[in-house]
Amino acid sequence: MASTRLSAFRLRIGVLALVLLGMSAVPADAQGAAALLTDSTSLASADLPATLTALRVEILVPPGRSPERPPRPRDQWWARDKARHVVFSGLWTLSTQYVLVRKADWSQGDALPLSAAASGALGITKELYDASRVDGRASGKDLVADAVGIGLAVGVVLL
């Protein structure tokens, strides 16, 4: 499956390169590969358009397929993603605390706020990245999971 995707990607890049170079003919093996990329309701290899521009459009958005992605599932409180946020933010806080106290000779009281702030900033940055993606959105539940992980790490440090 991955090799099929890779070969389809290579074919698309090759066709796009041909268009950019201004060539007007498609080799026969590229036409056959383009026909394999389309689904059963699309054009056969003999019916492919003669121009590269039309072929490029056919390969990028084959007929019968929607360019839109299916809707993402709802963000749930009890999900594997939330557990990862708790664990990662807690471990980031603990590891930053360790480095500041053991390696940089900071006092435990001075290092703890910076450790928690660094982990919180990393969580916020990750959510901003998620929101900046094309179909992405930030999750307040992820930030709550980050805060739980930071709180647990602070509790471990203060023991």
Looking at the structure, tell me whether residues 113 and 153 fall in a common domain: yes
126, part of any domain: yes
pLDDT at 7 over 90: no
Looking at the structure, tell me whether residues 85 and 141 fall in a common domain: yes
Query: In the chain, how many domains are there?
Result: 2
Q: What is the residue type of 87?
A: V
**Tens digit of pLDDT for each residue in 79-125?**
898 999 999 999 999 999 999 999 999 999 999 999 999 999 999 99
The HSE-up count of residue 140 (CA atoms within 13 Å, CB side) is 0
143, part of any domain: yes
Q: What is the mean pLDDT of the chain?
A: 76
Question: Are the C-beta atoms of residues 154 and 93 closer than 8 Å to each other?
Answer: yes
Looking at the structure, tell me whether residues 86 and 54 fall in a common domain: no
Looking at the structure, tell me whether residues 42 and 89 fall in a common domain: no
Looking at the structure, tell me whether residues 45 and 85 fall in a common domain: no
Burial of 106 (0-12, 13-18, 19+ CB in 10 A): middle
What confidence score (pLDDT) does residue 25 get? 46
Q: Which of 152, 147, 146, 143 is nearest to 94 (CA)?
A: 152
- Higher-scoring residue by pLDDT: 137, 37: 137
68, part of any domain: no
Q: Is 39 helix (H, G, I), strand (E, B) or coil?
A: coil
66, part of any domain: no
pTM: 0.55
Distances (CA, A) of 13 to 20, 72, 108: 10, 28, 54
Question: Are the C-beta atoms of residues 150 and 93 closer than 8 Å to each other?
Answer: yes
Q: Which of 66, 67, 43 is nearest to 55 (CA)?
A: 43
75, part of any domain: no
- Give me the domain span that covers residue 88: 80-158
Looking at the structure, tell me whether residues 37 and 100 fall in a common domain: no
Q: How far is residue 18's CA from residue 6's CA, in Å, rounded to a whole number? A: 18
